[in-house]
Structure 1
Amino acid sequence: MSKGTSGKDDKSTGLNFIAAHFFSLPSQGNVYSLTPLIDAKGHARLLVASLQRKVYCLEYTNGRPCKREVPFTYIPAGAEIISVDAINRSVIQEDFIIGITIIKRDDGKDQQSQFFNIYSDWDLNSDSALDIVSQNCLPLHLDFVPYHLYHTQARSKNGWETVWLLSGSDCCIHLYCSDEESYQEVNNSELFPEFQYLSEIVLQIDVSYSADSKIRTSAVACETGTVQVFRVNVEPGPQVTASHTVSWDYPVASVKIFTINTTVPLPKFLKVHRKAEDITQEPGLTHVVVATTLESCYVYRDILGSRESYELPESDRYDSVSCCITCDIDQDGENEILIGTYEQKVIMYKQNAEDFHSWDIYHSIKVPCPILALTHCDVIGDGSLQLIVMTTTGIHIFQHNPWELAPVVLKRLEALADDRLFKLSS
């Protein structure tokens, strides 16, 4: 496969992606069936589910790409996998919790049953934590058809914990919390009051916390074209303080909460030389990008404040939009917007440096098949992040040209070293 093509001259964008590898899949997945498994070092493996029951782990071992099937239990023959998500509970080792939702059709009957399977365990003596996890399943029966499976943090009586959010055909977002070594559904009104009175099927969920974790912004995209955004004060107890709703004529494929500026986590050896106030950042304005299936995509600046909206140019020209992410794709400290389309194209947008009110096409990549999902993580294990594109036939891995990435790394290392010397001398 060739390198990506750009809507502008490639030299002007500063992006030069290399097609590192393509993992073919025997059957198609969907917009919910790709999730990264990120270890304590920040390296990722990709967990990809096909609609025909099988789940694959895609990874790089000693610099070489590797694909293998993971034998998850309690996924019977003929079952259809709807969504997959994964959590690593540990900051020092692999301690994965993997959620898989399935639909099982009863043989000989015109009926079906739905399950939310939660896999978790860890064994120091195992060569592969993932293989152990896949054999330890807690199946939860569902009385609704599952859609988006999403994990986030929530502040409960026992402190912060990771919870599951699952949208369903009953127009509800279901909340699942851990109870010692088990999981159970709990009423969402106490931890997520913003999701209590939804009246439409939710296709996408996104949750973001301020730097001090005191304010939560939640967004949902619905099948009818409605997008709802909430601001919640987390302390002393979750309370909705603001909300805003926008409506479209067609379903919304994706909604993402983001800020313009982004930062790279500070290395541990520098944190010891800084005071707490030196590394605490003020939360920026909250922006939301809404990717509709058959209309133009829009960016909402300060959606719970000024509510200014800007259209992403040409976002309605490439058939249906299927997915959207925000990330610092060119590593300049500012987030860009990436949308994936069913017309086999990834389009990247960057905020205009001279006019905040416009977003320009920054780069584009053409792939051979319709796009289902995007993510941005370090699957190669070289310390940089790669663009992962899931299509109807497999997974494309795009990496930056290492020779162009090296000056960026050196510049950041010099800045960190100079900053450390200044802190030690003051």
Structure 2
Amino acid sequence: MSTVSISESPATGESPLNDEGSVPVPDCPFPVPSQQEIIFHETQFFPLQRQSNIYGLLNICINGLNKLVVSTLGGEIFCLEYHKPSVQRPPSLTPITFNYIPADAEVISIDACVREPNGIIVGVTLIKNSEPKEIFFNLYGVKCDPEAPFSWDKVAEDWQPISLKFTPFQLLHTKILMDGGWENVFLLPGDDLTVHLYREARLAENDGEARDQLVFQEEGLEELFPELVDLPSSVTYMCLKVVGHQRITALGCQAGYCKCSFTDLFTNTVLKSWDTRMIDGPITSVKLFTLHSSADPSDLNDYHLLVCSAIELGVVFMNVLERGFEHSQILPSSHAHDSVLCATVGDLTWDGSNELVLGTYGKKLLVYKHSVDQTSSSPCFNLVWQRGFAHPIHCVWYGDMTHDGLSELVALSMGGVHILQHDLGQASSVISERLSLIKNHTNSESKSSQHH
């Protein structure tokens, strides 16, 4: 899943949130002890009448408030949101009525991109169960005024359909550098062994009438995304990160093929590229991440790649931009609960280091932490927490849903949406401990400066 952010600072277009929707903790000038025990309590459950899939959860951050959009194979789309504490309203799972999503349609994937300052374009891929079957990529909000206040109703009414001749997989947006500025595009892999690129175009004239209308159109990706050309299998999952004027692209395919590339956005040339066929079965998730939650995104030595397969153990390829797929660390017991379907990354232990969260078809959430093996003194990932559910887990996300500064763990299962909150007593103790450390550190620095 991806995170879309409409910032309160439209002048910069920057968001304080990281890719997963949580606020990264800044570096601390003194050692911070790790909170070893992870304690979550399920505080809310929102049932769904129809199940979703691994592409059915989207985080949208509007003016600093996270909202989750959930799609189902029954053609339904919902918005899950918690309101500010000042608003006396309970959390809600509200249906969004998008134009032309028939009752017999299956929503395959959903994503969105931002048009500053307040606009948002939502993409929905769907299969209409008719004879013959019809497949569409619907775009919503393309013609909406981005200067106007955000409104789901206006976005849902503004509809542009694109007919597809292939079965779509994950829908993903990214940005490209064009004429010195950034432009949002959608990428859509299909079962035709092709990743399709959709760009915004302006129609100046239509049927003799002067117009100034924006639409999305498909165009070839050879020039803009050379790393996505001539792939040996259908792409099932991608993760892209833009770092400065360079792009890191990681992808996994239906046949187990994986590829990681590093591309210059000024020249659209691939600087480095690695691939591997060592993994069996369809790839269900790939995640580029850093071990430190406050790591500098421009530090290319701290990027690692998590790859999850429907058949094998989850595996992390360390320092992937330096060593490619040479150095791997497996996630022990990750295959013990049927297929791994989804993954996310976040600092669940509040120590500045990211943990890996995996969701499985065997109804388990698994959390892994990077540490040093006491026997061999070599780095490894250890399973530090797990929790069972009544249904398989399709998607997982870690971010602040309740707007209290403390992130929640959200699991989309076959039965509905589960909201897991950190233990508040534990959080209070950790805050008190950290405040005490800050006070002691400040006093120590003050005495040191007086001494000198």
Structure 2 letter corresponding to 1:223:
Q
- 2:235 corresponds to which residue? 202
Matched, 1:305 2:329: no
CA drift at 1:408: 5.2
What does residue range 238-249 of structure 1 map to in structure 2 within 5 Å? 238-249=269-280
CA drift at 1:255: 1.1
Q: Hey, what's the Cα distance between the residues in 2 that align with 1:235 and 1:409? A: 45
- 1:334 corresponds to which residue? 353
TM-score normalised by L of structure 1: 0.84
- 1:345 corresponds to which residue? 364
Tell me if the contact between 1:376 and 1:388 (Cα under 8 Å) persists in the aligned partners: yes
Tell me if the contact between 2:226 and 2:268 (Cα under 8 Å) persists in the aligned partners: no
- 2:59 corresponds to which residue? 36
116-125 vs 362-371, which moves further: 116-125
Tell me the SS of whatever aligns to 1:219: strand
What does residue range 384-399 of structure 1 map to in structure 2 within 5 Å? 384-399=406-421
- 1:116 corresponds to which residue? 137
Matched, 1:286 2:303: yes
CA drift at 1:147: 0.7
> Which ranges of structure 1 fall in alignment gaps of 5 or more residues?
1-10, 265-278
Q: Hey, what's the Cα distance between the residues in 2 that align with 1:393 and 1:86? A: 24
398-407 vs 288-297, which moves further: 398-407
CA drift at 1:341: 0.6
What does residue range 313-392 of structure 1 map to in structure 2 within 5 Å? 313-353=332-372, 355=377, 357-392=379-414
CA drift at 1:204: 0.2
1:173-195 C-alpha deviation (Å, 9 max, x unpaired): 11112224321112212221100
Structure 2 letter corresponding to 1:293:
A
1:91-118 C-alpha deviation (Å, 9 max, x unpaired): xx64221110011133xx3x11211111
Tell me the SS of whatever aligns to 2:52: coil
Tell me if the contact between 1:34 and 1:373 (Cα under 8 Å) persists in the aligned partners: yes
CA drift at 1:214: 3.1
Matched, 1:104 2:124: no
Q: Hey, what's the Cα distance between the residues in 1 that align with 2:412 and 2:339? A: 15
What does residue range 147-296 of structure 1 map to in structure 2 within 5 Å? 147-180=169-202, 181-210=214-243, 213-263=244-294, 282-296=299-313
When residues 310 and 328 of structure 1 are mapped into structure 2, their CA distance, relative to the original with a 3 A threshold, is: same
Structure 2 letter corresponding to 1:322:
L
Tell me if the contact between 2:39 and 2:422 (Cα under 8 Å) persists in the aligned partners: yes
When residues 409 and 247 of structure 1 are mapped into structure 2, their CA distance, relative to the original with a 3 A threshold, is: same
Q: Hey, what's the Cα distance between the residues in 1 that align with 2:294 and 2:378? A: 20
Q: Hey, what's the Cα distance between the residues in 1 that align with 2:286 and 2:77? A: 26
227-236 vs 74-83, which moves further: 227-236
What does residue range 22-171 of structure 1 map to in structure 2 within 5 Å? 22-41=45-64, 43-61=65-83, 62=87, 64-90=90-116, 94-106=118-130, 109=131, 111-120=132-141, 121-122=144-145, 129-171=151-193
CA drift at 1:244: 2.5
Tell me the SS of whatever aligns to 2:301: coil
Tell me the SS of whatever aligns to 2:79: strand
- Give the aligned length: 387
Tell me the SS of whatever aligns to 1:197: coil
- 1:274 corresponds to which residue? none
Tell me the SS of whatever aligns to 1:131: helix
Tell me if the contact between 1:39 and 1:88 (Cα under 8 Å) persists in the aligned partners: no
Q: Hey, what's the Cα distance between the residues in 1 that align with 2:123 and 2:36? A: 38
Matched, 1:16 2:35: no
Identity of aligned residues (%): 29
RMSD, aligned CA: 2.7
When residues 94 and 381 of structure 1 are mapped into structure 2, their CA distance, relative to the original with a 3 A threshold, is: farther
1:343-380 C-alpha deviation (Å, 9 max, x unpaired): 11100000014655310011112211111111122222
1:381-414 C-alpha deviation (Å, 9 max, x unpaired): 2222211100001000111123333465674899
Tell me if the contact between 2:125 and 2:135 (Cα under 8 Å) persists in the aligned partners: yes
CA drift at 1:305: 2.8
- 1:273 corresponds to which residue? none
Tell me if the contact between 1:233 and 1:241 (Cα under 8 Å) persists in the aligned partners: no
Tell me the SS of whatever aligns to 2:102: coil
CA drift at 1:49: 1.0
CA drift at 1:148: 0.5
Q: Hey, what's the Cα distance between the residues in 2 that align with 1:255 and 1:208? A: 12
Structure 2 letter corresponding to 1:342:
Y
CA drift at 1:158: 4.6
